[in-house]
Structure 1
Amino acid sequence: MRRILLVVAVLLVGVLGVASLATVATAAGPDAPSPSSLPVASVLLQPVAGAVDVSPAEPATVAVPDGTLDGVTLTGPDGTAVAGAVADDGRSWSTTADLAYDTTYTWAGTATGADGAPLPVAGSFTTAAPADVVRGVLNIGDDRTVGVAAPIEIQFDAHVEDRAAVERALSVETSVPVEGSWGWLPDENGGSRVHWRPAEYWPAGTRVTVTADLYGVPYGDGAYGRADVTSTFGIGRAQIVRADVNSHRMLVIRDGVQVADYPASYGLSGDPDRTTRSGIHVVSERFTDKRMVSERYGYDLVEKWAVRISNNGEFIHANPASASAQGSSNVTHGCVNLSTADAQAYYDTALYGDPVEVTGTDVPLASRDGDIWDWTLSYDQWRGLSAL
């Protein structure tokens, strides 16, 4: 009997011992990682250490996917720190300001891996050194109000070789959906130019924001963008001039309603150089007094209330000298002549970007006639001028 009891006691102690060991193992956590099983942390730099020809517009970042950043600085050669911010999770840092061209930047700081080991943040990179820095200028400033045919234009002060790179940096946002496209026109004033026009006239009242993130963009041939440019502006009322030369009248349609009907005289049709061009012109400038000179036709005059509608010399303006022909015949050198009172009345309503639709002549408006010939092309033709 005592042997039986002894065996039972030994078995019981063995069971209790196993139970005790199981309890200890559970408390320690069988799945808890040991330091040796933790992921090895690493510091990821972008641009990588030693990189050259880096775009200064691209953000510089440092990340520690399996750890946290303790402190990071990125400094230029004079020791000035570049502005930056740490992400909410503490695992990455990124610049919040553009870098400079042709400058070497150096990283400094530390990070801590998940295993508690310290990691250095170190290295340097150098930004691109442009052969030329090209400026781009928008034609419509902030808070302006323009007409429904106004193109958005960016004029560059030098030739742009890589037009696709530039176009990818451009965007147009509108308060209502508007389809449109960028199109590259022949270089002018020593530099390239790109226009954006809608497929049809702008909807009246549209708010437009143009963003050209040009700083740091490589233009080709070693040239880069000088600075970003932006503008937010509005489209005004829908005012359209309808000018049929055979009617000898000039109609003004505003928001679908005819608001004026002026007797007019257009270009003399017997001379192709004097014929008013047919097609959609666009108001670009206004002058209370404009000197008009032609050696070929022998005049040097100052005309009142002149509204430029093309760069080939076509204006809508007052001309008392042609008063007897206004409303009955075409005798001008290509301009639209009105009485002084009518010319001033129209002048007071005109906006940059208003369309002037001339019809009835056999000489079409074309690219040779100046800056804004965007609307002489169909929309499909216009999209063909895009670099993308």
Structure 2
Amino acid sequence: MSRIRPRTPFRTAVLSGTAVLAAAALTACGGAEGSGTGSGKAAEPTTRISVNLSGRQAKAGEPVTVKLAAGRLQQVTVTDSKGATLAGAVASDGKTWTSARPAAPGTAYSVEARDTGGGTARADFATASPEKVNKLTLAPGKNTTVGIGHPLSIVFDHPVKNKAAVEKRLKVTTSNHTEGSWGWMKDYSGKDRVDWRPREYWKPGTKVTLAAELNGVDSGGEGGWFVRDYQTGFTVGAHQVVKADLDHHTLKLLRDGAVVRELPMSGGTPGGDKASWRGKTVLMSKEGTINMRSETVGLGDAYDKMVDYSMRLTWSGMYAHAAPWNKAYFGNTNHSSGCLGMSTSDAGWLYGQVRPGDPFEVDGADAKGTQAVNNGYGDWNVSWADWQAKSAAH
């Protein structure tokens, strides 16, 4: 190893029987008494340290470790090229400092170590650039207010093989210590997705934050590396639930458990693909006036309409919306192509009352089955025990 004076960069050395380490001498600010040097100068006390990562193509995804040969470390600072620091801690014996997070790919780092005697030393290294980068999409959006049924949902651009490692870096904080769990699935799009769902519907007023500390985490397989962190937060609004009864052809809006208004409706035609899904679904989005075409949901050329007050409930095309062409069936017959249809005035009123995240609880025999967990936000159709089993971190 080479002797290094204060503020001098580390040199690298190959240590026998070990990997290549960045090594340096930690030099105290004041020299010690000389001992027969013959020059009259005090000898400079030195302490050697090593860093587990070195060079310009160091392996990402590992914590940075700084080791001290003698004495005790006081502080170690690892800073990237953007000025961000890696948090870490000195071991109880004072010999080793380890970062709490891994080194990220494609990043240059500077290491500065200080011992209890006041000596300092520096080192620099850079990690290899990633061959593939994984990104994600978060819902709900940042600083939004959502209904009591909206899960925290993450969809990844590329497959995630190391699900447990990724899940451990997803930190959910709530203002009232809400119990919840992550659950993995294949999104309706075919991409990997993980949702964080409370055990029961959110309590109104709950504030939720997510810190996805993924920078430096390997997705595994062909998924690539995460090269940044993500943050989002939202607030839970009023306790609102929409109950749709397919057998009695009614739709009720309940607020804090009390019925605000009951509306006549017509659900999907039973006995085939046009039937509605039953179960606890969640209002995904309010889309206003949109063009609905039967070809997009596999129903041939049965319809092509501009539809008002459209409220999306599933990815497969189930909406609640205005359906004035079906007015003869409101309150008495299920005769739609799978959606929950109402008069224009009733749909307009409901559209103005609900927000994304409000649960729509659809019940009745005239259904084609229960909404799948990944077809929109069907998380609530899974028991709590089965939902917890979807976590990769257990």
TM-score bin, normalised by smaller chain? 0.7 to 0.9
Pair 1:331 & 2:335 matched: yes
Displacement of 1:374: 1.2
Structure 1 residues 251 and 41: alpha-carbon distance in aligned structure 2, compared to 1, 3 A threshold:
farther
Tell me which residue corresponds to 1:373: 378
Q: Which amino acid aligns with 1:285?
A: S
Tell me which residue corresponds to 1:351: 355
Structure 1 residues 343 and 61: alpha-carbon distance in aligned structure 2, compared to 1, 3 A threshold:
farther
Q: Deviations over 1:207-253 (max 9, x none)?
A: 10111111111111372113211112100001101111111110100
Displacement of 1:336: 0.8
What is the alpha-carbon root mean square deviation over aligned residues? 3.8
Given that 2:274 and 2:337 are in contact with CA atoms closer than 8 Å, whether structure 1 keeps it comes out as yes
Question: Residues of 2 paired with 1:260 and 1:127: CA distance?
Answer: 61
Given that 2:286 and 2:351 are in contact with CA atoms closer than 8 Å, whether structure 1 keeps it comes out as yes
Given that 1:43 and 1:121 are in contact with CA atoms closer than 8 Å, whether structure 2 keeps it comes out as no
Displacement of 1:127: 2.0
1:327 match: secondary structure = coil
Aligned with 2:326 (options 322, 328, 335): 322
Given that 2:187 and 2:375 are in contact with CA atoms closer than 8 Å, whether structure 1 keeps it comes out as no
Question: Residues of 1 paired with 2:327 and 2:305: CA distance?
Answer: 16
Pair 1:260 & 2:265 matched: no
2:166 match: secondary structure = helix
Tell me which residue corresponds to 1:275: 275
1:332 match: secondary structure = coil
Q: Deviations over 1:332-385 (max 9, x none)?
A: 111111111110000011211111001112532233872322112111111111
Tell me which residue corresponds to 1:205: 205
Structure 1 residues 354 and 329: alpha-carbon distance in aligned structure 2, compared to 1, 3 A threshold:
same
Q: What residue ranges of structure 1 are gaps of 5+ in the alignment?
A: 1-33
Given that 1:157 and 1:189 are in contact with CA atoms closer than 8 Å, whether structure 2 keeps it comes out as no
Q: What residue ranges of structure 2 are gaps of 5+ in the alignment?
A: 1-32, 36-44
TM-score normalised by L of structure 2: 0.75
Q: Percent of aligned pairs with the same residue?
A: 31
Pair 1:287 & 2:287 matched: yes
Pair 1:310 & 2:314 matched: yes
Bigger-Rg structure (1/2): 1
Q: Which amino acid aligns with 2:313?
A: I
2:165 match: secondary structure = helix
Pair 1:300 & 2:301 matched: no
Please identify which structure carries the higher helix content: 1
1:382 match: secondary structure = helix
Displacement of 1:264: 0.8
